Amino acid sequence: MKKRQHAKSNLPGSFQVIGKRVPRVDAWKKVTGQEQYTEDIKLPNSLWGKILRSPYAHAILKKIDTSKAEKISGVKAVITFKDIPPYKLGYSIHADKYALCKDKVRYIGDEIAAVAAVDEATAEKAANQILVDYEILQPVIDPLQAMKPKAARLHEERSSNISVESHYEYGNTAKGFKDADHIFEDTFETQRQCHVCMETHGCVASWNTDDSLSVWTSTQIPHLMKRFLAKAFKLPFNKVRINKVGVGGAFGARTDLFPYDIIASCLSKKTGRAVKLILSREEEFFATVTRHPSVVTIKTGVKGNKITTRQVKAILNAGAYATQSGNVLGSLGWKGANYYRTENYKFDGYAALTNTAICSAYRGYGGPQIGFALESQIDMIAEKLHLDPVAFRLNNANRKGDITISGCEFRSCGLTECIQKTTESIGWDKKKKRNKGRGMAIGFGETSWRGAYYDDSDVSTAIVKMNMDGTAHVIVGGAEIGVGYDTAMAQIAAETLGIPFEHVSVHSGDTDLAAYDYGLYGTRGTLTSGAAVKLAAEEVNRQLLQAGSELLGVSEKGLSVVSQKICVKKNLKKAVSLSEIADYIYSGKGLALIGKGIYAPETNLPDETAYIQPPGPAPAYLFGAVALEVEVDQQTGQFKIGKIAAAVDCGKAVNPSAAEGQIEGDLYHGLGMATVEPGLTYDESGTPHYKHMADYKILTSADMPPIDSILVESNDPVGPFGIKGISQVTTSTVGAALANALYDATGIRIKELPITPEKIMEALKKKTAMQQRNHRS
């Protein structure tokens, strides 16, 4: 076992840069139009790529005729399965998809062939001239049907359409239920939410004359992409460079290697010219990735006012290929075990393959599915047992020092404070008007999801270089994806080095510059990269102190760093500036100032079975709460949220402004899922109902209620400066808070997301009919 590397924290400290609302380092580029996203990259002599996608949900490819397309003027290459490397996309044992289909298509949007041409219009025209003979098969759309033994099989090599299943138990649930005073069992459903990144997916690939490959793309995982592409094309790793450019929205949607990455690289190799391949908005909807639709059944045993036993059964719709379904399932089940103190827990999870778009990572990663079910049921239990829902939660809430049944150790826990602050914010105890209701829910998450890429350790790296004028460069392996990662790294470096924030430049997302890093997902960046940056900066500090000692003639122990100077502790006036020391190191000693930092939490050791077995503990755990007030028009079912308060225990907010932005974004995705977003639904032929932003409604500025985002700082001992992370918790929380508030207002319980006025009206009608029936009898 590796020893846990606790980054040393000077807690609770007063910081110069950490905790300050400094402007983001990328803000100026973004307000002036200088930031370059994938479509803005223009290489000389480049071509456009276009993909021919399957119009059928399930079909055998009998014949592909590219001859007509090849003859079109301006077309430089047409490729099919036989032209691409025989590499399967997907993670580890779940790899099951070729970039271009071999002999079968499995959903509307599946890649069949591709074209490179002089411009986009020509490429599109040619792609439409590729003739394909299909033998149409019966599609399987519903996951419950797909799991039946006689269902049409998507992947012939599999024994069933169950892509992955997971079963485990802690304690003894049978005994737990036997001993319980009350048992509750309820089933909840959530929809297939679309990420709707403002920038569509795509890349620019250039196969260079020295047989190296450069790819410019908006990705969360530059180093994993490098590794996958090198393997796919059998290139040495030093011959593949990923240049992560501006990322126009990620939310988990950019944590896979996509077929277009291989297709564009292949087209570039074939033509000797760079190829730009940008998906259309339609393709973005039906042919990238989505959230897993879920059916979650929770059985809870309560003794007195304590939850003792819990059993969760989850069925996820995986879409047509496995990708990260096993891990989303793992995350869902594991969260279910750890939301509250529980003695016994059992999980049975299934991810079913269907002829629909691929479901992969999406903000929350199983959290919104389990969070909606679990936190809706908590209110239902509290009501049946005549307990106050807040008090019931507090009675069962995790606390600092707890070690859960799955082995999570909570070294910090601000859950109680999150509950108190959010309920206070919306005036929980104030008198309510008719048709108004209040609801709340708690959230749980972790820093760094360990299941996802379980074939090596979850490492982050940083290099800090100090120039001879005392300014510094930070080179980190992660990726700025819009969350403020580069800014946080600059703040952590500036704080550690004791130099102004403006004196630090950050470079992330370039695989040739930085050392290996897992990437930006799973709420890991600020803690894991932050720890690496701190270690690297501390190495520079040690060199500065050593040189300072030489210059001042005082031992290192007698020196301290104070506002860009190294001072003699006993006589602060005796000092030498950092720039003088740096200059002395370069010019006087003929050396250079470089520090490196590598951080890998012991909890993130590779584990091939992580997708079946519950994962081990995480470096840090996040807690949160959402409370809101809603007003319902019982004539129409329309409802209006008065105010939402959301609190997250993030350990320590590096940049409060950016941290609030994460809560607000989380809330936005969670609230969209809970209300207006229909989810990508399909007709029985497997045709998606939505292909445009005009049909797939997302919330606008006029729709959003007032938000009170509250940062709770519990100063965790593991991360640097007490940092844990912040994102994803609130996305998983708001759905149940809304369902609970609507119940409070109307007495109807909606167990299916999204919650629409139509569903409310239907439930109200049922309730009235039942009341009338009861009245008559």
Partner 1 sequence: MSSKAIVMQSDEKKEVHLVVNGDSYELLVSSHETLLETIRDRLGLTGTKHACGTGECCACTVLIDGKPMLACLSLAADLEGSEITTVEGLAEGDQLHPIQESFVEKGAIQCGYCTPGFLMAVKALLDENPNPSESDIRWYLRGNLCRCTGYVKIVEASLEAAKRMKGVDNK
Please give the residue ranges that form the binding site for partner 1 (CB under 8 A): 21, 23-24, 26-37, 39-40, 42, 195-200, 246-251, 280-281, 481-484, 655, 657-658, 660-661, 664-665, 667-669, 692-694, 698, 700-704, 707, 709
Please give the angle made by the CA atoms of 210, 211 and 214, to the nearest 5 degrees: 100
Task: Select 79 or 279, whichever has its Cβ closest to partner 1.
Answer: 279
Task: Select 133 or 695, whichever has its Cβ closest to partner 1.
Answer: 695
Give me the least distance between CB of 41 and partner 1, in Å please. Answer: 9
Burial 116-133 (b: 16+ CB within 10 A, else e): bbeebebbbbbbebbebe
Question: In 3D, which of 520, 461, 528 has the Cα closest to residue 222?
Answer: 520
Contact 293, 351 (CB under 8 A): no
Give me the least distance between CB of 32 and partner 1, in Å please. Answer: 6
Give me the least distance between CB of 33 and partner 1, in Å please. Answer: 2
Task: Select 34 or 638, whichever has its Cβ closest to partner 1.
Answer: 34
Task: Select 615 or 665, whichever has its Cβ closest to partner 1.
Answer: 665
Q: Which residues contact 640 (CB under 8 A, 6 or more apart)?
A: 630, 631, 705
Contact 497, 541 (CB under 8 A): yes
Give me the least distance between CB of 250 and partner 1, in Å please. Answer: 7
CA distance 254 to 360: 10
Give me the least distance between CB of 579 and partner 1, in Å please. Answer: 26
> Within 10 A of 708 (CB to CB), how many other CB atoms are there?
18
Backbone angles phi, psi at 457, to 5 degrees: -75, 155
Give me the least distance between CB of 469 and partner 1, in Å please. Answer: 22
Give me the least distance between CB of 19 and partner 1, in Å please. Answer: 14
Handedness of CA 334, 336, 340, 346 (dihedral sign): negative
Contact 204, 46 (CB under 8 A): yes
CA distance 306 to 173: 15
Give me the least distance between CB of 363 and partner 1, in Å please. Answer: 10
CA distance 51 to 203: 13
Give me the least distance between CB of 119 and partner 1, in Å please. Answer: 9
Q: Which residues contact 35 (CB under 8 A, 6 or more apart)?
A: 26, 29, 246
Give me the least distance between CB of 603 and partner 1, in Å please. Answer: 29
Q: How remote is the C-alpha of 95 from its chain's centroid?
A: 20
Give me the least distance between CB of 264 and partner 1, in Å please. Answer: 18
CA distance 447 to 516: 19
The DSSP letter of residue 603 is G
Give me the least distance between CB of 699 and partner 1, in Å please. Answer: 8
**CA atoms within 13 A of residue 663's CA, in its CB half-sphere:** 28
Contact 285, 696 (CB under 8 A): yes
Give me the least distance between CB of 668 and partner 1, in Å please. Answer: 4
Task: Select 119 or 512, whichever has its Cβ closest to partner 1.
Answer: 119
Give me the least distance between CB of 278 and partner 1, in Å please. Answer: 8
**CA atoms within 13 A of residue 388's CA, in its CB half-sphere:** 7
Q: Is 121 helix (H, G, I), strand (E, B) or coil?
A: helix
Burial 462-493 (b: 16+ CB within 10 A, else e): bbbbbbbebbbbbbbbbbbbbbbbbbbbbbbb
Give me the least distance between CB of 671 and partner 1, in Å please. Answer: 8
Q: Which residues contact 39 (CB under 8 A, 6 or more apart)?
A: 199, 202, 276, 278
User: What is the SS3 string spanning 453-518?
Assistant: CCCCCCCEEEEEEECCCCCEEEEECCCCCCCCHHHHHHHHHHHHHCCCHHHEEEEECECCCCCCCC
Task: Select 83 or 199, whichever has its Cβ closest to partner 1.
Answer: 199
Task: Select 605 or 698, whichever has its Cβ closest to partner 1.
Answer: 698
Extract the tokens encoding 330.
């793992």
Give me the least distance between CB of 49 and partner 1, in Å please. Answer: 16
CA distance 612 to 506: 38
Give me the least distance between CB of 127 and partner 1, in Å please. Answer: 17
Task: Select 471 or 655, whichever has its Cβ closest to partner 1.
Answer: 655
Q: Which residues contact 12 (CB under 8 A, 6 or more apart)?
A: 715, 722
Contact 581, 544 (CB under 8 A): yes
CA distance 319 to 323: 9
Q: Which residues contact 733 (CB under 8 A, 6 or more apart)?
A: 371, 375, 441, 442, 443, 624, 625, 626, 646, 670
What stretch of H or E contains 440? strand 436-446
Task: Select 37 or 516, whichever has its Cβ closest to partner 1.
Answer: 37
Give me the least distance between CB of 248 and partner 1, in Å please. Answer: 3
Please give the angle made by the CA atoms of 527, 19 and 618, to the nearest 5 degrees: 20
Task: Select 468 or 693, whichever has its Cβ closest to partner 1.
Answer: 693
| Rounded alpha-carbon distances, angstroms, from residue 45 to 117, 119, 276 | 11, 11, 11
